[in-house]
């Protein structure tokens, strides 16, 4: 079980990197680059329990989930990772020092779903939603639920019922009950 827990932690590490980098497209004119070396920093994930089902191809951290890597933190009630491939092979590969390279296992993650008061903090960005879904094949991050919000410190915030971030194009789509608060800086409407 220890080897499987290590494998799931490694999968979560790369899942979090994907989520974090997806958020960097929030503001194209003032985007925040990922910190150099951040992907090499240690990740710590804690939860009340972990349920894994290799037949159904998922692993779920449940209860007061907290994932920390450097200055990035993700909090939720549940973090469920859907994957493809064989967990046994991934465990063997992760425990073989010669194959333990950064990024390994990233391609096996299909979808990540965080639910229950999800909060993501990194650099100058805070995001909040009831549910966050990230699909790896199209690199789309979806924040769902009334009051889903993206906040960029010093620039303002946008709230909607659904926020879709297209990582490849940098496009963001806000739907349902959209409300924005922005700071004009030196230029205002007057």
| CB of 32 closer than 8 Å to CB of 44 | no
Confidence of residue 38 (pLDDT cuts 50, 70, 90): very low
N-term to C-term CA, the chain? 63
H and E: helices and strands count for the chain: 2, 10
Non-local (6+) Cβ contacts of 47 within 8 A are: 61, 62, 63, 64, 65, 66, 79
Q: Average pLDDT for residues 121-142, to the nearest whole number?
A: 87
Nearest to 12 by CA among 63, 61, 51, 77: 61
Residue that has been written with the tokens 């779920």 in this structure: 60
**Does the structure show a pLDDT above 50 at 32?**
no
| CB of 142 closer than 8 Å to CB of 118 | no
Collapsed DSSP state (helix, strand, coil) of residue 5: helix
Least confident of 68-82, 105-119, 157-171: 105-119
Q: What is the pTM of this model?
A: 0.66
- Measured distance CA(48)–CA(60) in Å, rounded: 11
- Measured distance CA(10)–CA(87) in Å, rounded: 12
**Does the structure show a pLDDT above 80 at 118?**
yes
Average model confidence (pLDDT) for the chain?
72
Non-local (6+) Cβ contacts of 122 within 8 A are: 20, 23, 71, 72, 73
Q: How high is the pLDDT of residue 179?
A: 95
**Does the structure show a pLDDT above 70 at 34?**
no
Q: How high is the pLDDT of residue 29?
A: 24
Q: How high is the pLDDT of residue 93?
A: 55
Q: How high is the pLDDT of residue 176?
A: 95
- Measured distance CA(89)–CA(121) in Å, rounded: 33
Confidence of residue 98 (pLDDT cuts 50, 70, 90): very low
| CB of 11 closer than 8 Å to CB of 85 | no
């Amino acid at each position: 079980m220890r080897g499987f827990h290590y494998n799931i932690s490694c999968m979560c590490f790369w899942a979090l990197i994907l989520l974090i980098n997806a958020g960097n497209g929030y503001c194209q004119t003032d985007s925040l680059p990922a910190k150099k070396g951040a992907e090499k920093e240690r990740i710590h994930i804690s939860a009340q329990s972990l349920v894994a089902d290799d037949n159904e191809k998922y692993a779920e951290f449940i209860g007061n989930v907290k994932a920390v890597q450097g200055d990035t933190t993700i909090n939720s009630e549940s973090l469920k990772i859907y994957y493809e491939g064989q967990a046994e092979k991934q465990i063997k590969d992760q425990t073989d020092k010669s194959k333990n390279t950064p990024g390994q296992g990233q391609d096996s993650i299909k979808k990540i779903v965080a639910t229950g008061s999800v909060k993501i903090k990194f650099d100058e960005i805070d995001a909040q939603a009831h549910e966050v879904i990230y699909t790896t094949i199209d690199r789309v991050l979806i924040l769902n639920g009334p009051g889903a919000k993206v906040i960029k410190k010093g620039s303002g915030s946008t709230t909607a019922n659904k926020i879709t971030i297209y990582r490849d194009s940098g496009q963001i789509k806000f739907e349902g009950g959209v409300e924005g608060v922005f700071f004009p800086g030196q230029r205002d409407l007057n």
